[in-house]
């Protein structure tokens, strides 16, 4: 019954129109990106690479993929681009598989310190296939390169990841390059969160320091849900076979046929990101994040905030996510460095400004949004996470029930709806 699905899609569109999406990995694409995603390219099968397909009828598809590669190389200043990865996690695994033998040593920032699952976390297959060594942030919440150096010297990794998913500070690509060179490791920058900001030149680029770059295309780059693997001149100098190794890591290593509709949408997003107005957009993301951080009494050097809720009580991340969502503000619960609670019921929340900025919101709006967030967080006092683990599930259920009946939360939700409705969703409304 497709009618039911289309009705649910309309409901989701309405939810987004009257809500505030503040998960920093979410954004809004243009109407042209949506057109490509829903195009007839969805129907084609194109296993292989341009000029070397395993299926016929790919003359035009080859041109689309080649154009996407060209645009990626031009925008980021790299020598080669693979645009077929289905998403960021398989792109990262393909890099590991392409450059490191199973059982080899890889290094990455721990999940609890703001790294990604695929940088060697225990829950990820990357730690099961490889010997994964994790470095962590210090008490100041920042990466200590001296500690990274000690770990690298001790474990001699074949590949080092430098990247973030919940790390609100600037990455020292030059410092990591020295460490990687000292042990002969490949250096790979995962810039999935900041690739749009790097492309717009409002954050430092890793291109001159790393061998390989991975990025999703659906965060600050404002593209479809896909990913790219970019190879630098430094990477080619280190390993002349690196492109072939990485291509084989993607196909046939992990994937079959690429999603040609996504490839076309990536090309459109890359072209859009090369325009002057995109730089203005990226600059506004950072301005908005700075204002939001100041209002919420935290710090950031990029687009995201990691908010420690310990001042309100113990283990309040899940409760904050629930309460804010009931108020029409979407964030995600997140561990903080050295979290005293747990990964599932953490002590913090992660939020950011890319999606709000895409809707045209600026500094004044951030002040207003921060006031709502602070008011909701004050409601969490007294709702500490039970220390006894078996009690937590029922506690959360009761907390959710109480919050649904909270009259002020209902009022805030109405205020948020009226506020958000003034800022259209780009892909739904632009021409």
Q: Is 190 a catalytic residue?
A: yes
Q: Is 122 a catalytic residue?
A: no
Nearest CA to 121 out of 130, 134, 138 is that of 134
Q: Which residues contact 13 (CB under 8 A, 6 or more apart)?
A: 425, 428
- b/e per residue, 258-267, with b = 16+ CB within 10 A? bbbbbbbbbb
CATH 3.40.190.10 fits 278-429, yes or no: no
- b/e per residue, 299-328, with b = 16+ CB within 10 A? ebbbbbbbbbbeebbebbbbbbbbbbbbbb
Contact 369, 20 (CB under 8 A): yes
Q: Which of 225, 238, 245, 410 is catalytic?
A: 225
CA distance to 19, 20, 62, 257, per residue, from 53 (Å) = 44, 43, 9, 9
DSSP code of residue 116: -
Cβ-in-10-Å burial (0-12, 13-18, 19+) of 388 comes to exposed
DSSP 258-297: --HHHHHHHHHHHHHHTSHHHHHHHHHHHHHHHHHHHHTT
For the chain, the helix, strand and coil percentages under 3-state DSSP, each to the nearest 5: 50, 15, 40
Residue 125: strand, helix, or coil: helix
Interatomic CA distance for residues 305 and 289, integer angstroms? 8
* Residue ranges of domains in the chain: 31-273, 278-429
Give the pLDDT confidence of 311-337 residue by residue, as tens digits. 999 999 999 999 999 999 999 999 999
| Structure confidence at residue 1 (pLDDT) | 55
CATH code at 31-273: 3.40.640.10
Please state the φ and ψ torsions of residue 305, each to the nearest 5 degrees: -125, 135
Contact 88, 99 (CB under 8 A): no
Structure tokens at 166: 């919940």
Q: Which of 67, 136, 190, 325 is catalytic?
A: 190
| Structure confidence at residue 429 (pLDDT) | 63
How far apart are the two ends of the chain, measured CA to CA in Å?
30
Interatomic CA distance for residues 108 and 120, integer angstroms? 6
| Structure confidence at residue 235 (pLDDT) | 98
Q: Which of 126, 216, 220, 330 is catalytic?
A: 216
Q: Is 237 a catalytic residue?
A: no
β-strand pairing of 52-53 with 212-216 = unpaired
| Structure confidence at residue 2 (pLDDT) | 73
**Region of residue 361 (left: phi > 0; alpha: psi -120 to 50; beta: else):** beta
Contact 282, 273 (CB under 8 A): no
| Residue whose tokens read 């003034």 | 422
| Residue whose tokens read 């205020």 | 415
Contact 121, 91 (CB under 8 A): no
CA 390 to chain centre: 32
| Structure confidence at residue 229 (pLDDT) | 98
Whole-prediction pTM: 0.95
Tell me the torsion sign for CA atoms 18, 20, 24, 28: positive
Angle (CA) 324 330 335, round 5°: 85
Interatomic CA distance for residues 246 and 159, integer angstroms? 13
DSSP code of residue 167: -
Interatomic CA distance for residues 367 and 209, integer angstroms? 37
Q: Which of 26, 47, 384, 417 is catalytic?
A: 47
Same fold for the pair 31-273 and 278-429 = no
Structure tokens at 229: 């693997």
DSSP 2-32: HHHHHHHHHHHHHHHHTSEE--TT-----HH
Contact 320, 333 (CB under 8 A): yes
pLDDT (tens place) for every residue of the chain, 431 residues total: 579 999 999 999 999 999 999 999 999 999 999 999 999 999 999 999 999 999 999 999 999 999 999 999 999 999 999 999 999 999 999 999 999 999 999 999 999 999 999 999 998 999 999 999 999 999 999 999 999 999 999 999 999 999 999 999 999 999 999 999 999 999 999 999 999 999 999 999 999 999 999 999 999 999 999 999 999 999 999 999 999 999 999 999 999 999 999 999 999 999 999 999 999 999 999 999 999 999 999 999 999 999 999 999 999 999 999 999 999 999 999 999 999 998 899 999 999 999 999 999 999 999 999 999 999 999 999 999 999 999 999 999 999 999 999 999 999 999 999 999 999 999 886 44
Q: Is 222 a catalytic residue?
A: no
Q: Which of 44, 53, 219, 392 is catalytic?
A: 219
């Amino acid at each position: 019954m497709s009618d039911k699905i289309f009705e649910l899609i309309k409901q989701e569109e309405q939810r987004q129109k009257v809500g505030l999406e503040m998960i920093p990995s979410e954004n809004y694409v243009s109407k042209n990106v949506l057109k490509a995603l829903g195009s007839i390219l969805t129907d084609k099968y194109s296993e292989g690479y341009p000029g070397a397909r395993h299926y016929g009828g790919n003359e035009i598809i080859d041109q689309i993929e080649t154009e996407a590669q060209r645009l990626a190389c031009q925008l980021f200043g790299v020598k080669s681009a693979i645009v077929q990865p289905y998403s960021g996690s398989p792109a990262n695994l393909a890099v590991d598989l392409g450059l490191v033998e199973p059982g080899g040593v890889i290094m990455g920032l721990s999940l609890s310190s703001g790294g990604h699952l695929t940088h060697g976390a225990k829950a990820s297959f990357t730690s099961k296939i490889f010997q994964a060594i994790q470095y962590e942030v210090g008490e100041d919440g920042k990466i200590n390169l001296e500690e990274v150096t000690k770990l690298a010297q001790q474990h001699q990794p074949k590949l080092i990841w430098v990247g973030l998913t919940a790390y609100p500070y600037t990455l020292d690509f030059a410092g990591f390059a020295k460490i990687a060179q000292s042990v002969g490791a490949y250096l790979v920058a995962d810039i999935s969160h900041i690739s749009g900001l790097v492309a717009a030149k409002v954050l430092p680029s890793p291109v001159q320091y790393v061998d390989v770059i991975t990025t999703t295309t659906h965060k600050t780059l404002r593209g479809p849900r896909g990913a790219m693997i970019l190879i630098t001149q430094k990477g080619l100098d280190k390993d002349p076979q690196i492109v072939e190794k990485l291509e084989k890591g993607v196909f046939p290593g992990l994937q079959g046929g690429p999603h040609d509709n996504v490839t076309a949408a990536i090309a459109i997003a890359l072209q859009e990101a090369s325009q002057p107005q995109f730089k203005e957009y990226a600059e506004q993301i950072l301005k908005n994040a700075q204002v939001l951080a100041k209002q919420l009494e935290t710090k950031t050097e990029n687009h995201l905030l990691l908010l420690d809720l310990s001042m309100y009580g113990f283990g309040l991340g899940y409760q904050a996510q629930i309460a804010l969502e009931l108020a029409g503000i979407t964030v995600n619960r997140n561990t903080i460095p050295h979290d005293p609670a747990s990964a599932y019921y953490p002590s913090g929340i992660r939020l950011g400004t890319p999606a709000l900025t895409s809707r045209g919101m600026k500094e004044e709006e951030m002040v207003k949004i921060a006031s709502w967030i602070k008011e909701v967080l004050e409601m969490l006092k007294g709702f500490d996470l039970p220390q006894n683990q078996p009690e937590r599930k029922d506690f959360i259920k009761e907390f959710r029930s109480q919050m649904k009946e909270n009259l002020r939360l209902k009022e805030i939700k109405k205020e948020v709806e009226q506020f958000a409705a003034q800022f259209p969703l780009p892909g739904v409304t632009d021409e």
